[in-house]
Amino acid sequence: MPSTGRPRSFDTDEALEVAMRVFWAEGYEGASLAALTEAMGINRRSIYAAFGNKEELFRKAADRYVQGPGAFVGPALELPTARQVAEAMLYGGINAHTLPGCPRGCLLVQSALAAGPESEPVRRDLAERREAGVAALRKRFEQAQAEGDLPPTADPETLARYVHTVGQGLAVQAAGGVGREDLHRVADQALSTWPSS
């Protein structure tokens, strides 16, 4: 049976883009419903009808972030060598976290850092996303090891956590105002210890 309610008078895709930017700039807890409604140009009832509660809106905004500024991850995992994967993860992150006209840092990292106990479902979701990222890197590094691209002494789990942790640190530094060139030097230093096959 078709819905008989009033049609939406706003573009949900555009509203989600705006919400993503608010969460990116303010983090999950820092983004109040008042700030979201003002930035999105819609009222709370419209947010709830289109996106659900604040937590559901955040999850949708986080998904949009992963598919937008965070979209460098998928192609990075397909590069031919483990070192190229690590480089693309770190440098791709730096580029995403310092995009002109966008908030600095990473929406997911910033939200995780500022999420208190009352936001446990969001913290859990962000932790699951982080672990999925580590697992994808670990799997790719295991493949590299099986192909002889990484030495038998390399630990794919530790390398995955290392790259992920450095990437998160770069995101925090970017949010704090550290420039792209300085972040690149940090990534260069981190990669200087990469195991050779």
Predicted pLDDT of residue 8 = 52
On whether both 130 and 151 belong to a single domain, the answer is yes
- pLDDT at residue 24 tops 50: yes
The CATH number of residue 125's host domain is: 1.10.357.10
Does residue 5 lie in a domain region?
no
Instruction: Answer whether residue 2 is part of any domain.
Output: no
Judgement on whether residues 90 and 22 belong to the same structural domain of the protein = no
Task: Write down the pLDDT at residue 189.
Answer: 98
pLDDT score at 84: 98
Domains: count for the chain: 2
pLDDT, tens digit, 9 for 90 and up, residues 149-180: 999 999 999 999 999 999 999 999 999 999 99
Tokens of 36: 């979201």
Give the pLDDT confidence of 122-143 residue by residue, as tens digits.
999 999 999 999 999 999 999 9
Bigger pLDDT: 183 vs 197 = 183
Within a domain: 6? no
Place of tokens 């790719």: 140
The answer to whether the CB of 75 falls within 8 A of the CB of 88 is yes
Of 158, 144, 159, the closest CA to residue 197 belongs to 144
pLDDT value for 115:
73
10 pLDDT above the threshold of 90: no
Q: What is the pLDDT of residues 34-71, one digit of tens each?
A: 999 999 999 899 999 999 999 999 999 999 999 999 99
pLDDT value for 1: 44
Helix and strand element counts for the chain (H, E): 10, 0
Exposure string of 33-54, with b = 16+ CB inside 10 Å and e = fewer, is eeebbebbebeeebbeebbeeb
Q: Is the pLDDT of residue 116 over 80?
A: no
CATH code assigned at 54 = 1.10.10.60
Tokens 């999105």 found at: 40
50 shares its domain with 88: no
Whether 34 and 117 map to the same domain: the answer is no
Mean pLDDT value across residues 73-98: 98
Whole-structure pTM value: 0.89
Q: Identify the residue with better confidence: 8 or 186.
A: 186
What whole-number percentage of the chain has pLDDT above 70?
96
Q: Tell me the average pLDDT across 100-110.
A: 93
Separation CA 66–CA 107 (nearest Å): 9
